[in-house]
Structure 1
Amino acid sequence: MAFSKGFALLSFVFILHLAGLYLFANGFLLTRLALPDNTICPDNSCTIPPTHKRAVLLIIDALRFDFVSSEPPIPASPFHHHILTLPRELTAAHPRNSFLFNAYSDPPTATLQRIKALTTGSLPTFVDIGNNFGGSSIAEDSIMKQLRVAEKRAAFMGDDTWMSVFPDSFHWNMTYPYDSFNVEDLHTVDEGVIEHLFPLLEDASKPFDFLVGHFLGVDHVGHRVGPDHPSMKDKLQQMNRVLTRVVELLDDDTLLVVLGDHGMDRSGDHGGDGTLETSSALWIYSKGAELAADTSAIPSGLLQYTTFPKAPTSHRSIQQVDIVPTLSLLLGLPIPFNNLGSIIPELFWRDRKGTGLTRALEINVAQIKSYLDAYRSSSSGGELDEAWQSLHSAWTATQVTSLTAEQYLIVMSNYTRVSLAACRSIWAQFNPFLMGLGLALLGVGLIATWATYSGLSRAGDNWDEWLGDQLTKYMRGTAVGSVLGLLASVGLASYLPGMDALDCILFCAPFVACITMIATSDPSFSTLASVPVPLVLHTLAFFSNSFTFWEDRLVPFLLISSLTPFVLKGFTASSPRLRWRILGFSALFAVCVRAIAISTVCREEQQPYCHVTFYASSSLPSPPLPVLYLAIPTAIALPWVLRSFLKISRSHVGLAEIFFPWILMPTLVAGTAHWLMEWADSAGVLGPEWSAILRLSRTWLVRSSLLFLVVAGGALWWTIPLCLDIESPLTQDGTRQMNVVGYANAFGSSYLLFWTLFLAAVYTTTQLTGQLVLALTAVALVAFLEVVDSVRDVQRMDALAAARPSALLEDAALSRAPPIPVRFADIVPVALLGLHAFYGTGHQSTISSIQWKSAFLLTPTMNIALSAATVTLNCFGPLLLVGLAVPLLALWNRPPRLVSLAEKSTEKEKARARADTEVQGESIVAGLGIMIYYGSLLLGTAVSAAILRRHLMVWKVFAPRFIVAGAGLVAVDVGVLFGFGAGVQRVGGRVAWVCRGIASQL
């Protein structure tokens, strides 16, 4: 029964967090209404005569602008600069037929969002990033839909994402999709595109009007080994050869468009809004008719120039969404209805008067005006309220009749750019009401959890009865709240914008339950004064974008600071042995924390004050050389180190003697061996002929090791979880004496084995540098447990000395002294250690820090379920581990209490119950404590994101940190639930069973 009560309480807090997250996220995260309208012009009033009969659109995924620029950054890279030279050569030789641009790709810079922008001309949204692995069909107007309406035949080959968003747009006999998410495969997709591209260009029997070829090799090289690698040079050389051959096969009526859908950062990743990620190349080439006349006469107000980072000169730049209206008009098609892009002026400058450009801009402006009017009239039209005046002013300027030809062009171009800027700024579609409800629920939930934590702590040994009574009241509060939520959804529907019945119940049910918790828990709010300073500072830091940038440096400072009270206690300890234990293990903890801090990945905002150490360099995502040497020794040493800590309390016997050398060590070594083989494969250490063998070997090595961990390790621990050994030596008088070896840490030693099962799983999904960080985290954890245990001994000795000084001479008196309960100050270092490990394992609150290599741990190709699981473990495994580890604060070196048969029966029965219920009560308190810590961080990030939602950095800084805080809290909650439900209960039950057997012998 005790188990169900504790698990029910922790589950309620978990559901409370999920409900608050859901409501706030629904009101905060960026969304956009996609209008179903299509551009229709039967009289050709919204188009111009085409310059070309057909087009070839070749997308080289992640082709950054400097990869094709004639003047790349200084110093130039020998691996990706001056390699793909054909675009700049033809642009220099034929300036009226060839144009090269630096195109800005709106974030999020993921392929699905870029395909949507490249075909619709609309802007992506922040939460669209979540759809990148399962894109749904694009329903809004697009160039593909306009091609279909015009009865044009479209061909496709390459990234199969196109088939998920345009399932019916390509001719069945000219469609060749390939799997897009196997980043370890650098050549299959590209070779497939090449295999079908050239025959289509050569075969007149398969005429096409529009051809899309999407190469993935450059992107995959970036993800796997980074841009500064010989593989990138080889891939760009291959692309140069492909483009040369395509140009040779082009006829005079075909327009060639080559572009990158986005760029890549220094390590080869993308997804965010960094300058390198949003910079993509665009090359437009016409083999026959000239695209433009003398472009020097184009009004300068129509052209924009930007300087690529560290480049010597500026370059002509456009918005990537400008491709849609430009390509549509060049092919004689209407511009898609939802487009916000502007035509590229150079491609419509047919004479010095700019007649063609004027007409194209008028069509462009009319289309955008129609779209904005339609959006204004839609259910989301209120989003345009703030910007409508500036939009109206820009539109009015285009209607002035006294303008010169040049001024007319400039004001029309200005209208399109003002429209784009306005939509970028307002498409946050915030629902302040839902955001407020989410914040209210998270805030009152935090207070309610603290009230329960406080009441449960004061209940002590009577926690079981106290919690049973409280849970009944909580359930009644939940029931009442559910009814109120249902009634509110019916009677107040018109006053609850954006809410349905489920939303009302999700808010009211936990909210009323929280009020009940606060009112009935009899909390001592004076204990709020004991909230540690690190938690307050950490929560407030999220209101500053600068502190959020540097949180990875802030956390170790707070972590060491949180250890100060323990160190001070060590200096004042009356026992020299305890003094040196506290100071020694504190020093070990601090050394581990400092060593973890050595491993870093850098945010864009931290430059130039940050240097990547998690990888070999900022542009080479392979492990540093020292890590390669230390990886295997660390995997071998970690089980031995953990067993050495158990040896302190003589709890290294029993299951520990089998578990560490025969279960944990082989799994850790196998996980390390996988990443070493992945490095050897990526670096080409053994040559390309070994690639297939290495891929197969490491896949099955990890599969078998994890299966062994779950089946052998899990089954062994579940069957015989205790680290005990029973000795029965003969005494001098010929009788036998029972010695239970490991009894002093019976709970903690067994639970530590349980925890290492999950450590091994997370360790396997983590790259080599991160594995060293996890090893240091594990050592720091057990070192801190020893510090806490020693400080508790000092506190008990002080209490005994105050009551009876002579008791200090009696070891038995100390062993019988009441245990010291878990304090919130004990929980803070464990909570911070999880965040420190999160950053140390190569993560940041940015999309580009996601380590996609882990998606291919268990399978050589993308598998949604397995890949999502391994990527999630890789990202949030350290936080899951601290949620699982926090019960150790209650279990470590906590021996069960026993009474002999000579004592009264009622006392004996109480002792049997106390053998496991005492530690369960303390484990619940510890679990609630770490939930409070991470709940406070979530509340801090949510409040800062809500207050600063119009801040320039909201989508760059505050929204990603909110998502990380939310996912981190969920990971911690799951760890606490699983740790208590499976670990603490099983250990407590087995210890109680052994205690009954021992008591019967007393």
Structure 2
Amino acid sequence: MLSFLCFHSLLLPANLISILALKSVVNKLEEDTLLLVLGDHGMTKTGDHGGDSPEEVGAALFAYSPSQLWHKEEIHTQNTVSQIDLVPTVALLLGTPIPFSNLGKLIPDFFAFPSQELRSISRVPLEVKPLFNYVCALHRNVRQVKTYIETYHSQTGAFSTSLLTKSNMKYQEALTMLSRITQILESQVKITAEDINNLKKDLNETEKLFSSYLILVSNMCHEIWAQYDDFSIEIGFGIFSGMLFVSMLVLFGVPVRMPYLVLLQTLEGVCLWSSLPLFLLVLTLLIPASFILLKVSKMLQRLDPLPGRYQCIETDVLAVVLCCMHAVSLTSNSFVMSESYITSYFANSIMTFVFLWKVLKKKRSEPMLRRDRFRKNLKEWILFLLFLIASKSSQLFLSCREEQPWCDVSPFLKPLSSLRLSKSQFLNIRYLLSGACVFLPVIGLNRWFRKLGNHGVFFIRHFSLTYGLPLTAVCLWMNWALQAVPSSILDKLPAWQQTFLPRIAYLMIFGSLMSVLIDPVCARLLTEEEGRQIKEAVHVEPKTKAKDKLPSRKKRTTNSKYHKSEEGAQTDKSSAGSINARVPVVCGLGTVYSSNLLQVFISVFLLIALLLGDGLAPSLILMMVQMFTAVELKSLTDREENQKVPVVPVWLVALWSMMSMQYFFTTGHQATIPSIRFETAFIGYHGNYPSYLYWIPAVLIILNTFAAQVMFAVAVPFMFLWTLTRRNLEEGSMTDVPKGEMELQLDSDLFKKGLSHLVLYFVSFQALQLCGTMLSAALHRRHLMAWGIFAPRFIFEGVSFLVTLTALSLSCGFVLFTHRALGKWIDRHLNRPV
């Protein structure tokens, strides 16, 4: 080590101290002590480690002892040993039983001298003593392996009967020879040189039989334990990546034709040339698969809401590149272990680039004074900084991996009961903060409905908004206070007292979701008297006075001239300010879609907050802040570009997908099995579940683990709706109220195409990350950390993809359900003769 360092190097003192420390350890070793220095893996010249190359699987093994380790006459010349061979070797050297499931073989050089049990045979010649000692120790090793294999086969029946018979024959033959050698050594008084030569031959033959037995058993186990179905892996990855590629081509407006698909599949077949059956299968399915992909691509092209080809935008290109970089980074174990920080970095990078690009673009197109430009961009700057602050603050809720010893557990992830004595002041602050985090969204939802007039007319909808959801927030807060009680006291309470509050919360959340399905049109048709008062106020009074005459809880109005009965409001075009007295007036019709979706979102938010606990409630608020800032910046861009039809840019969908992965980690989770919070299954339930209710704990654990994916999937339609909702919220004259979300009813086909386009974009970005985990798990299936890092990451991403698809289908299905119900409501109430 020192030979690579100059005497003026800053590393020289530290390395000298390390070498002197090792020297002091060696000098203090006693005669019966063995020092083993080894590495768990090797490294290539480029620094790669953990793979299956010869440089990575090889490592040095250094053994030292003050006493003699091996006999002058060497047993074997063995340059390499397996890591599993250390287990039986160290166990026998320590005098402890060999672990039951061991499959390793003893290292011969450490057994040249007899153990206490073998010293009873005192007539062993010096020439064969090292070999005899090793064979006796190896017999113990083989006997342990044989016991394990027989037990494993009796329980699973996994091994071939012929191979088991063959291995047993080898064992019996070796055991017979060892018994004969022992009898010869005990019976003969004088051993001649010829006898010594015969003993050497017999001992070598016995050692070969024992070694061949261990090799045969090891191969048997490798056939059933360490084999991968490469054919299925390549088929699955090829199909998934091919469909993802075709979907991205269609989304970006690239025409998909038959020659392109044939070329794509031919390239896949060439890449899989190493697997001849797979190559033949690809060639066989080439033409029919191309027809299928072509048909799918044509169906997808019908979803494009914009005519013509896709226009390449720099922000969209960068967002796609960053998402691809994140997917490729999943092939590195270091990146996977630090993914909780990397996803936040990628999300911030997308937002920063998009914001700066918009500012610079505006600066070039609108030359003005610096002061005026700053005032005009002040709102954008505030939203941008708010996004970055929320993203940075969310890292307070990260959990630690086992591979991160430097990481400290966040105090927000500790139970409240554990903070009573050590951090009582922080406990009070955290409890009050969690209460504010669950009450603020509920209060904001009620204010939204009161301001926009979306309470509807049905009692169940009004009850859920006014009493149900606030009661849910109260139950959550009181339940968290109950969790702060020490477990010794809490366990003494009756079971119903421990589960009463969560069950009430479950009931209220379920009632809120059902009320939206029962009354999906949260708008109110005013009576003729109320409508006449508003029309008179609009016609003769200023805007502020007209608003004061609106009925309570209904501050915004939309009259029927924006719907299918336009002719009733425009009978006299010469007087544009006059309003037909018989035209109905409706409150809240411009925000029906967003109001319904917002109530569903807040209901899901309360459910997720209940499952995550009080410590992670602020993280959910930060999630909502980042969602709002992203869609608000997008809506400001749409307003400046005068887009009448909402078009969701690619960068926003990519950012949405990246934030869903970011908040998977900032809600206290990691892609490891030990990080799963199984205690969530018992929130609201005490004791064991009956067999017919096993699905309930599974659903609760999945909702807890993939809370971020569920929240972002439910909120996906907001990316499409917020621009229209934002227009409806802007102040305007009472005679020209913005149509808002009623634009969607005017062009139903365009709405469905745009929503389908958005869903396909979001699913494609999620599939891109899944494709990255599939690639990493396939490439590193022989990696040292395959089962600790890559396999769990692939499993979590696969389940996350399925959860996202489910939540996204329900969310978009609900929006389409609202669209259909609103159309029927308009036909029933507004398209009547006037």
Report the TM-score range of the alignment, normalised by the length of the smaller protein. 0.5 to 0.7
Q: 1:336 aligns to what?
A: none
Is 1:305–1:316's contact at 8 Å kept on the other side of the alignment? yes
Q: 2:732 aligns to what?
A: none
- Structure 1 residues 697, 370: CA separation in 2 closer, same or farther (over 3 Å shift)? closer
- The residue identity in structure 2 corresponding to 1:719 is D
- The residue identity in structure 1 corresponding to 2:144 is N
- Structure 1 residues 340, 358: CA separation in 2 closer, same or farther (over 3 Å shift)? closer
Identity over the aligned pairs, expressed in percent?
18
Q: 2:611 aligns to what?
A: 765
Is 1:383–1:426's contact at 8 Å kept on the other side of the alignment? no
- 1:740, distance to aligned residue in structure 2 (A): 5.5
Q: 1:564 aligns to what?
A: 352
- 1:855, distance to aligned residue in structure 2 (A): 1.1
Measured in 1, the distance between the counterparts of 2:417 and 2:104 equals: 33
Measured in 2, the distance between the counterparts of 1:609 and 1:425 equals: 39
Q: 1:722 aligns to what?
A: 522
- Deviation digits for residues 583-622 of structure 1 (CA, Å, limit 9, x no counterpart): 2233323222222211011111122255444423999799
Is 2:318–2:350's contact at 8 Å kept on the other side of the alignment? no
- 1:851, distance to aligned residue in structure 2 (A): 0.2
Q: For 1:818, what is the secondary structure of its paired residue? A: coil
Q: 2:54 aligns to what?
A: none
1:455-470 equivalences in 2 (<5 Å): none
Is 1:758–1:881's contact at 8 Å kept on the other side of the alignment? yes
Q: 1:596 aligns to what?
A: 394
- Deviation digits for residues 457-507 of structure 1 (CA, Å, limit 9, x no counterpart): x9xxxxxxxxxxx9xx99xx9xxxxxxxxxxxxxxxx9689x9xxxxx999
Measured in 2, the distance between the counterparts of 1:584 and 1:646 equals: 26
- 1:872, distance to aligned residue in structure 2 (A): 1.1
> Within the alignment, does 1:444 sit opposite 2:242 as a pair?
yes
Measured in 2, the distance between the counterparts of 1:669 and 1:950 equals: 52
Is 2:646–2:724's contact at 8 Å kept on the other side of the alignment? no
1:12-161 equivalences in 2 (<5 Å): none
1:533-548 equivalences in 2 (<5 Å): 533-548=321-336
Q: 2:143 aligns to what?
A: 363
- The residue identity in structure 2 corresponding to 1:363 is R
Measured in 2, the distance between the counterparts of 1:668 and 1:359 equals: 68
1:145-184 equivalences in 2 (<5 Å): none
Is 2:523–2:586's contact at 8 Å kept on the other side of the alignment? no
Is 1:383–1:429's contact at 8 Å kept on the other side of the alignment? no
- The alignment's TM-score, normalised by the length of structure 1, stands at 0.50
2:90 to 285, 289, 304: 304
- Structure 1 residues 536, 1001: CA separation in 2 closer, same or farther (over 3 Å shift)? farther
Q: 1:875 aligns to what?
A: 705
1:981 to 799, 808, 813: 813
Q: For 2:724, what is the secondary structure of its paired residue? A: coil
- 1:822, distance to aligned residue in structure 2 (A): 1.1
Q: 2:501 aligns to what?
A: 701
Q: 2:825 aligns to what?
A: 993
Q: 1:142 aligns to what?
A: none
Q: 2:787 aligns to what?
A: 955
Q: 1:635 aligns to what?
A: 438
- 1:441, distance to aligned residue in structure 2 (A): 1.4
Measured in 2, the distance between the counterparts of 1:619 and 1:675 equals: 10
- 1:985, distance to aligned residue in structure 2 (A): 2.8
- The residue identity in structure 2 corresponding to 1:666 is L
- Deviation digits for residues 129-159 of structure 1 (CA, Å, limit 9, x no counterpart): xxxxxxxxxxxxxxxxxxxxxxxxxxxxxxx
Q: 2:16 aligns to what?
A: none
Is 2:247–2:300's contact at 8 Å kept on the other side of the alignment? no
- Structure 1 residues 698, 826: CA separation in 2 closer, same or farther (over 3 Å shift)? same
State the superposition RMSD in angstroms: 5.5
Measured in 1, the distance between the counterparts of 2:486 and 2:516 equals: 35
Q: 2:493 aligns to what?
A: 692
> Within the alignment, does 1:616 sit opposite 2:414 as a pair?
yes
Is 1:855–1:866's contact at 8 Å kept on the other side of the alignment? yes
Measured in 2, the distance between the counterparts of 1:597 and 1:759 equals: 20
- 1:835, distance to aligned residue in structure 2 (A): 1.5
- Structure 1 residues 886, 508: CA separation in 2 closer, same or farther (over 3 Å shift)? farther
Is 1:855–1:862's contact at 8 Å kept on the other side of the alignment? no
- Deviation digits for residues 406-441 of structure 1 (CA, Å, limit 9, x no counterpart): 998999699769966994798232111111111011
- Structure 1 residues 721, 593: CA separation in 2 closer, same or farther (over 3 Å shift)? farther
- The residue identity in structure 1 corresponding to 2:323 is L
- Structure 1 residues 911, 748: CA separation in 2 closer, same or farther (over 3 Å shift)? closer
- Structure 1 residues 536, 361: CA separation in 2 closer, same or farther (over 3 Å shift)? closer
Measured in 1, the distance between the counterparts of 2:716 and 2:285 equals: 29
Q: For 2:485, what is the secondary structure of its paired residue? A: helix
- Deviation digits for residues 314-358 of structure 1 (CA, Å, limit 9, x no counterpart): 998877535xxxxxxxxxxxxxxxx85899x9xx97564499977
2:637 to 759, 774, 791: 791
Is 1:572–1:579's contact at 8 Å kept on the other side of the alignment? no
- 1:934, distance to aligned residue in structure 2 (A): 0.9
- Structure 1 residues 667, 429: CA separation in 2 closer, same or farther (over 3 Å shift)? farther
Q: 1:673 aligns to what?
A: 478
Measured in 1, the distance between the counterparts of 2:637 and 2:225 equals: 54
Measured in 1, the distance between the counterparts of 2:439 and 2:467 equals: 11
1:842-857 equivalences in 2 (<5 Å): 842-857=668-683
- 1:627, distance to aligned residue in structure 2 (A): 2.9
- The residue identity in structure 2 corresponding to 1:364 is Q
Q: For 1:952, what is the secondary structure of its paired residue? A: coil
- Structure 1 residues 938, 621: CA separation in 2 closer, same or farther (over 3 Å shift)? farther
- 1:890, distance to aligned residue in structure 2 (A): 0.8
Q: For 2:413, what is the secondary structure of its paired residue? A: coil
Measured in 1, the distance between the counterparts of 2:772 and 2:523 equals: 42
- The residue identity in structure 1 corresponding to 2:485 is A
- The residue identity in structure 2 corresponding to 1:638 is P
Measured in 2, the distance between the counterparts of 1:781 and 1:431 equals: 42
Q: For 1:692, what is the secondary structure of its paired residue? A: coil
- The alignment's TM-score, normalised by the length of structure 2, stands at 0.60
Measured in 2, the distance between the counterparts of 1:602 and 1:507 equals: 47
For these two proteins, the number of residue pairs brought into alignment is 596
Is 2:454–2:589's contact at 8 Å kept on the other side of the alignment? no
Measured in 1, the distance between the counterparts of 2:508 and 2:416 equals: 36
Is 1:747–1:892's contact at 8 Å kept on the other side of the alignment? no
Q: 2:594 aligns to what?
A: 748
Q: 1:64 aligns to what?
A: none
Is 2:521–2:821's contact at 8 Å kept on the other side of the alignment? no
- Structure 1 residues 371, 365: CA separation in 2 closer, same or farther (over 3 Å shift)? same
> Within the alignment, does 1:514 sit opposite 2:289 as a pair?
no
Is 1:876–1:971's contact at 8 Å kept on the other side of the alignment? yes
- Structure 1 residues 724, 691: CA separation in 2 closer, same or farther (over 3 Å shift)? farther
Q: 1:275 aligns to what?
A: none
- 1:955, distance to aligned residue in structure 2 (A): 1.0
Q: 1:532 aligns to what?
A: 320
1:229-628 equivalences in 2 (<5 Å): 303-304=89-90, 320-322=99-101, 340=103, 352-353=119-120, 360-364=140-144, 402=200, 423=221, 427-454=225-252, 513-518=292-297, 529=317, 532-568=320-356, 569=358, 579-609=377-407, 611-616=409-414, 625=427, 626-628=429-431
Is 1:699–1:857's contact at 8 Å kept on the other side of the alignment? yes
Measured in 1, the distance between the counterparts of 2:727 and 2:417 equals: 58
Q: For 1:862, what is the secondary structure of its paired residue? A: coil
Is 2:773–2:797's contact at 8 Å kept on the other side of the alignment? yes
> Within the alignment, does 1:964 sit opposite 2:796 as a pair?
yes
- Deviation digits for residues 444-469 of structure 1 (CA, Å, limit 9, x no counterpart): 1212332443459x9xxxxxxxxxxx
- 1:857, distance to aligned residue in structure 2 (A): 1.5
Measured in 2, the distance between the counterparts of 1:787 and 1:756 equals: 22
Is 1:723–1:750's contact at 8 Å kept on the other side of the alignment? no
Measured in 2, the distance between the counterparts of 1:985 and 1:590 equals: 36
Measured in 1, the distance between the counterparts of 2:777 and 2:586 equals: 55
